[in-house]
Amino acid sequence: MLFVRGFTVWLIIILAESLDGAARRLLLEPRVGEFRAKQIAVFTGAAMILAIAYAAVRSLGATSARQLLGVGLLWLALTLGFEFALGRLVLGYSWARVGAEYNLLKGGLMPIGLLVLTLSPLTAASWRGLNKPPLAGSAAGS
């Protein structure tokens, strides 16, 4: 049930991120250029992910830090699958173009967003004070 709830929250996250991407392309890029728009959107996207995780972390029903990390890894896997499918199958981008978003040395900022995404359930639980035992991984909560 945890992963079903996690999947449901991920759908909300991916919708919010898709809207963030559309706003970036339509509103920011014409004004500040592509790279600067991506820099701004990494922070707005991270803020949205953290806000959604904060709002949803209790409803996930996770009882341990391990479960929260599992949800974060689920979100990571789903997002990577979504991004690669969107880039390759829908938009017809080459593997090089899709992969460029993941190369920090060449200005790709996707790894930053993915790190925030993966750690957001743990972060949100901490902010909500849910990281106290048994959630912290003690024998009772594992």
Closest alpha carbon to 38 in 83, 101, 96, 98: 101
Across the chain, mean pLDDT equals 89
Residue type, 117: L
Can you give the pLDDT at residue 142? 43
What's 87's DSSP letter? I
**pLDDT of 58-92, one tens digit each?**
999 998 999 999 999 999 999 999 998 988 888 88
**Which of the four pLDDT bands, split at 50, 70 and 90, describes residue 52?**
very high
**Which of the four pLDDT bands, split at 50, 70 and 90, describes residue 17?**
very high
Is position 134 within any domain?
no
Is position 141 within any domain?
no
Q: Distance between CA 76 and CA 10 in Å, rounded? A: 9
The yes-or-no verdict on residue 133 having pLDDT over 60 is: no
Can you give the pLDDT at residue 141? 47
Is position 47 within any domain?
yes
Domain containing 110 equals 2-127
Can you give the pLDDT at residue 137? 53
Which three-class secondary structure state does DSSP give residue 64?
coil
The yes-or-no verdict on residue 15 having pLDDT over 70 is: yes
pLDDT over 90, % of the chain: 68
Residue type, 69: L
**Domains in the chain, number:** 1
Helices (H), the chain: 2-23, 29-32, 34-60, 65-85, 95-100, 110-127
Can you give the pLDDT at residue 135? 56
Is position 72 within any domain?
yes
